[in-house]
Structure 1
């Protein structure tokens, strides 16, 4: 059984950097962009697709993504069926993603890919500033349960809405830790968030304000520490899609690695 340390005390600047984000959340920024602006990469085959999308995938099979010319960032040969590896040697991380997903540039994260058909399904990586953080281990966050609460709080902050009649429901589904094949400890956090809205939020009578479900999503985070930095891989998917693609999405989560940066 893994032994977890209690949460440590850090300088104020380090504490403030936990799960720090840009002012505009990645997901909100992405939804406001048009498809014409977002599609920066070629479409690839959909070996990763569930049966209901295989027909469309075959149509796109001629558009194979060609990696290259990205300096320290390399798209390695796929080692799992339907997945392609993304390696960033400059920032020190790697992961595998569905090979037909497209990269969205300018989305706010260090790297951002999304499904070409399901716009609510995407993956991104963010990490703390190297100049203001001094993490030695993922256990600096405390046990996985405590880290899960921080992750959920950050999600709710990002998806806070100023619209009248909007209500969010959230819960932590699971928190766990694992030692990967690189010998490093990683935390995995899964949360569910539902968004409800009134169809007539200005109605005087409650009976005229009908509440409906806007979206129901699962958010999966993998946390790791290297180079004195906290790294987070984020995977977002609608709950109904997660049911169909769970095994493949978990392979994506388990592929995340943080790597030592060569000085």
Structure 2
């Protein structure tokens, strides 16, 4: 389904209760592996009580390192496109690919994030929060869920949201919603893809985006990232 310049005012107020999306900085301690390195995410607390994830290199014994990297190689042997690298987090239960020349960085309240080396607004980030829902379909019809998220969760009060595309995908009996949207403010506009899914008692969100002025040049590249998101059983 394609929706252009949508009016978002009709969304039911009760959908916010269906979503069960508290403003949470829930970030568990985890160990994650990519195709080239192993990183460790430690939960830290700022002076104002907000939590954020700061990743540091984790040195492992040869046996542990081999055990972690081998499943990663097998999992993505047929899936990682040329010029991309895989990020796999077995403990937190998700994976995706990102452009090979991007670098990891800390994004507040997110579990993992990578950005272009020169264009910081061109990035991907993943976060998750706990939920009692079992599947993304439990939130309601795809159109209502996405409209609510873009208008009430992603857009700031001074931004005008526009949704261009919505897709539902089923992979290994797991359901994913992926959608494209633009947030326009008086001085700046950003374009993004988001993929959302529920599994492992968690609601996962991946967002990959860029400045709207560059969107035509990078859209296809970033769509690969959005479509690559997978839930892993933990």
Interval containing the TM-score (normalised by the shorter chain): 0.5 to 0.7
Deviation at 1:249, TM superposition (A): 1.2
In structure 2, what is the equivalent of residue 136 of structure 1?
134
Q: C-alpha distance in 2, partners of 1:106/1:120?
A: 12
Q: C-alpha distance in 1, partners of 2:203/2:170?
A: 16
CA contact (8 A) 1:17 1:128 kept: no
- Specify every segment of 5 or more residues in structure 1 that has no aligned partner in the other structure, as ranges: 1-6, 23-64, 161-166, 197-213
In structure 2, what is the equivalent of residue 68 of structure 1?
38
In structure 2, what is the equivalent of residue 59 of structure 1?
none
Deviation at 1:219, TM superposition (A): 2.1
In structure 1, what is the equivalent of residue 21 of structure 2?
18
**Mapping 1:55-134, distance limit 5 Å:** 66-68=36-38, 70=40, 76=72, 79-105=80-106, 107-129=108-130, 133-134=131-132
Match of 1:220 among 183, 193, 203: 193
Deviation at 1:106, TM superposition (A): 5.4
Q: C-alpha distance in 1, partners of 2:139/2:22?
A: 11
The 3 A distance-change label for structure 1 pair 190 and 19 is farther
The answer on 1:175 being equivalent to 2:166 is: yes
Deviation at 1:107, TM superposition (A): 2.8
> Would you say how many aligned residue pairs link Structure 1 and Structure 2?
181
Match of 2:214 among 218, 232, 241: 241
Deviation at 1:171, TM superposition (A): 1.5
Q: C-alpha distance in 2, partners of 1:16/1:176?
A: 19
| Secondary structure at 1:128 match in 2 | strand
In structure 2, what is the equivalent of residue 195 of structure 1?
185
- Specify every segment of 5 or more residues in structure 2 that has no aligned partner in the other structure, as ranges: 1-11, 26-34, 41-57, 59-63
| Secondary structure at 1:134 match in 2 | coil
Q: C-alpha distance in 2, partners of 1:169/1:69?
A: 37
In structure 1, what is the equivalent of residue 204 of structure 2?
231
In structure 2, what is the equivalent of residue 149 of structure 1?
147
| Secondary structure at 1:118 match in 2 | coil
Deviations 1:172-218 (A, max 9, x none): 222221113x232110122111111xxxxxxxxxxxxxxxxx22111
Match of 2:175 among 152, 174, 185: 185
CA contact (8 A) 2:86 2:97 kept: yes
TM-score normalised by length of structure 1: 0.61
Q: C-alpha distance in 1, partners of 2:135/2:231?
A: 12
In structure 2, what is the equivalent of residue 54 of structure 1?
none
Q: C-alpha distance in 1, partners of 2:22/2:148?
A: 8
Q: C-alpha distance in 1, partners of 2:198/2:36?
A: 30
Give the CA RMSD over aligned residues: 3.0
The 3 A distance-change label for structure 1 pair 16 and 257 is closer
Deviating runs (4+, > 6 A) in structure 1?
71-75
Q: C-alpha distance in 2, partners of 1:18/1:69?
A: 28
| Structure with a larger share of its residues in strand | 2
The 3 A distance-change label for structure 1 pair 21 and 155 is farther
| Secondary structure at 1:240 match in 2 | helix
